């Protein structure tokens, strides 16, 4: 029972006892001295409030299930945030590259305009291009210097100059259009990031408030129920005989990835983090494989979409185990039916049974 409810109960019991005393037979409202031969009756006392008792397992199980849903929704939103972040980084880099091309294109266009102006002046004065301009624009200076067909070469050079100028102008317009598109996409991703961040914080805040209402003993019992649920799922998974045919040996890169992940044990889960001091689930797996020299997608959903899938019976250390139907969680298989993963807010990077959560499938980064 929560402290607020205990206070209300104590108050209610006190009022009930007072009403009982006031309505009991022989009770008077005026102060009356007792007869000499009689002793004053003892004044009834209020019944003490019952001691707080932990919530029953049924209620705590409901709390556990609700927490799972809240943290799952936060994980989905975290994947959306990370995806938007990755797209924003890519789009920002593309915008910078386009800006550089635009600067270079403008410089080239100015040069072409100068050459075109010089050619126009030469044509006005001499009816053709100057030898210096023709030489600069010629694809074969040696042939030009032979002196054969200078008039024809001059006309061709003029056409080449105009075509190059038009092409450069077209390129500039395309760069500008592409940059505009990237800016719009970048803005859309910023909004997506903001929305995802808001949802993450809302879900985590709700989960933390729910846990804060529990007494110490209830929190301890809740943690025990969580362990029991994970162990039950792992035992059921192992009882299927799934590991009987799992004998895969880690690749050289897989060993490096497992080593990196293992070195992060005990570091806190922080949504959106990818090290070195904290991680979310896909931040851990993506950084582990980056350290192994084989970059993989940043999010668990993209890891599921893009990496080669393998059967559970064929998995080997270093492979990534994807969880839940929406691919919202990922861990790294380390052998003997176990994974290493960053679980959720309030937890640290840890080792647990690979079957402790619903498995969607297994993917191999270095297939």
What are the DSSP calls for 183-228, one per residue?
A: HHHHHHHHHHHHHHHHHHHHHHHHHHHHHHTS-HHHHHHHHHHHHH
Question: Catalytic residue at 247?
Answer: no
Q: How many CA atoms lie within 13 A of 197 on its CB side?
A: 10
341 is catalytic: yes
- Marked catalytic residue, from 17, 72, 247, 281: 281
Q: Are 14 and 46 in contact (CB under 8 A)?
A: yes
DSSP classification of residue 274: B
CA distance 98 to 211: 50
Answer yes or no: are the C-beta atoms of 321 and 69 closer than 8 Å.
no
| Known catalytic membership, residue 294 | no
Cα distance between residue 237 and residue 160, in whole Å:
72
DSSP structural state of residue 27: -
DSSP letter (8 states) at residue 29? S
Which residue in the list 17, 72, 247, 329 is annotated as catalytic?
329
Residue 285 and residue 297 in contact, taking contact as beta carbons nearer than 8 Å: no
The token pair at 167 is: 């092409």
| Separation CA 116–CA 162 (nearest Å) | 7
Give 202: exposed, middle or buried? Use CB within 10 Å, 0-12, 13-18, 19+: middle
Please list the active-site residues: 281, 329, 341
């Amino acid at each position: 029972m929560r402290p607020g409810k205990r206070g209300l109960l104590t108050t209610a019991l006190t009022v009930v006892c007072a009403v009982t005393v006031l309505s009991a037979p022989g009770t008077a409202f005026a102060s009356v001295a007792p007869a000499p031969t009689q002793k004053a009756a003892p004044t009834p006392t209020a019944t003490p409030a019952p001691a707080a008792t932990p919530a029953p397992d049924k209620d705590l199980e409901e709390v556990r299930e609700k927490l799972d849903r809240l943290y799952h929704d936060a994980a989905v939103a975290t994947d959306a945030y990370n995806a938007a972040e990755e797209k924003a980084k890519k789009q920002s880099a593309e915008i910078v590259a386009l800006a550089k091309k635009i600067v270079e294109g403008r410089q080239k266009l100015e040069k072409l305009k100068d050459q075109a102006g010089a050619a126009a002046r030469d044509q006005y004065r001499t009816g053709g291009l100057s030898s210096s301009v023709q030489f600069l624009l010629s694809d074969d200076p040696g042939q030009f210097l032979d002196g054969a067909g200078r008039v024809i070469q001059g006309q061709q050079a003029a056409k080449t100059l105009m075509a190059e100028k038009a092409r450069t102008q077209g390129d500039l317009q395309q760069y500008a259009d592409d940059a505009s598109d990237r800016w719009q996409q970048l803005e859309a991703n910023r909004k997506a990031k903001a929305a995802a961040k808001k949802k993450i914080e809302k879900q985590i805040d709700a989960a933390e408030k729910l846990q804060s209402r529990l007494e110490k003993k209830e929190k301890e019992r809740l943690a025990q129920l969580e362990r029991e649920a994970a162990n039950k799922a792992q035992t059921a998974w192992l009882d299927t005989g799934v590991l009987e045919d799992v004998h895969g040996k880690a690749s050289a890169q897989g060993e490096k990835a497992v080593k990196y992940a293992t070195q992060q044990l005990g570091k806190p889960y922080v949504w959106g983090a990818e090290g070195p001091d904290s991680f979310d689930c896909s931040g851990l797996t993506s950084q582990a494989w980056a350290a192994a020299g084989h970059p993989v997608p940043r999010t668990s959903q993209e890891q599921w979409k893009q990496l080669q899938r393998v059967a559970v019976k064929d998995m080997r250390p270093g492979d990534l185990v994807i969880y839940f139907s929406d691919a919202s969680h990922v861990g790294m298989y380390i052998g003997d039916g176990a994974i290493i993963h960053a679980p959720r807010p309030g937890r640290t990077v840890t080792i647990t049974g690979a079957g402790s959560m619903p498995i969607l499938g297994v993917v191999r980064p270095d297939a």
